[in-house]
Structure 1
Amino acid sequence: MAGALKSIMLAVAFIVPFAVHAQELNYDSLITTWATERGEIVTPSAQTAALRVAAEGFSVKAAAAGLNPEAVDRIAKAMTDAGFVVAKPHGVTAKWSTGEYTFAWEDTSQFAAISKALDAQMIYAALEQLPLVTVIVEPVPPVDYLVDINGEQVHSVKKGVYRVDPGDVVVRVARPTRPACLWKGSLKLGDQQTVTCKL
């Protein structure tokens, strides 16, 4: 009896560390949570840009860990599509809007390396580097104005902080019965721009 109990305890001790380190990432939820906690709005094109950067970083690390190219491409596809990736001791499942891919590890050492490559900090770091546009509308109340950034209508909020993708940026703010406020410029990673509109 003692021998059987010892065997069970050893098996559990072997399994638990792997369960603790399993990665389960829903990229759409990660971005939403990050933006909500910071009180920012991530524009759709900025989300796409951040996911692309995170997927490129993952691809480099995964290739260095010896993951087969097809698996690297499918996981990167799930990331860029704001999909879902689960990495466990036995393998990985990647899901995106039009597909799903599951595979087993070729080498047990790949699990630890890929888990690190799938760290949520990669997407957070990519988001933090995106240009930041702060829209200040006077007078503020009520928040009845519409904000359009690069042709994408975004949620108007009192704080007015938006992450945008780098490059040419056009901000248009409109309030009923008032002429629209327009700002155009070029922003690069890390830039911050304030747009003040008297409406």
Structure 2
Amino acid sequence: IDSSGRFNDVVTRFVVACVLEAFTYLHTQGIIYRDLKPENLLLNDRGYVKLCDFGFAKRIGLNKKTWTFCGTPEYVAPEIILNKGHDHSADYWSLGILIFELLTGSPPFTGSDPMKIYNVVLRGIDAIEFSPIHINRTAATLIKRLCAQNPTQRLGYGLGGIIDIKQNKYFQGFDWIGLHRGTLVAPIQPTISGPDDVSNFDKYPEKVENPPDELSGWDADF
């Protein structure tokens, strides 16, 4: 997304669909993810999106809550900020934030420091301006339903669960069966020479640090 600036609906729909498949498995196992963001999405050799970094994931069981404060500020749900206890609905909130960022290139809630971001989050998604150039009405409606301030009112929280999200108008015509079977062609095809090709990853200089000599003499009497 850094190089593209933003994605169109075709790419966004595919990325979000892959995330929903992952959430379906995690949530049925009683696991909440809690760290959805573009940096934690990887493409495999066929362009399918995979979740990575499960450092904040937690098994809470079904119909249970947890009170641990964690997550990336721009993606943290209001109930986490207010320490009201949260469950899998916090993942649906972050999914709405992800859709917004994929379509526009930046998350809806931003600020110069985490506290300022949290204050903006608590004002709610309705206080955010949606650009009709980047976000069509169907996408905007989906985002707002996923980012309802009340966790129990979010799309996906009802009896239908994630199926309710998959059946949203934004995914009309999407080949869910093809995605599940792995036969659907991904809109972004990574260029790689083989399974060991890491050329698409960012390159960092190798850090080689020699520890300084200990000359304080603290051990002279040993």
Q: TM-score, normalised by structure 1?
A: 0.23
**Larger Rg belongs to:** 1
Q: TM-score, normalised by structure 2?
A: 0.21
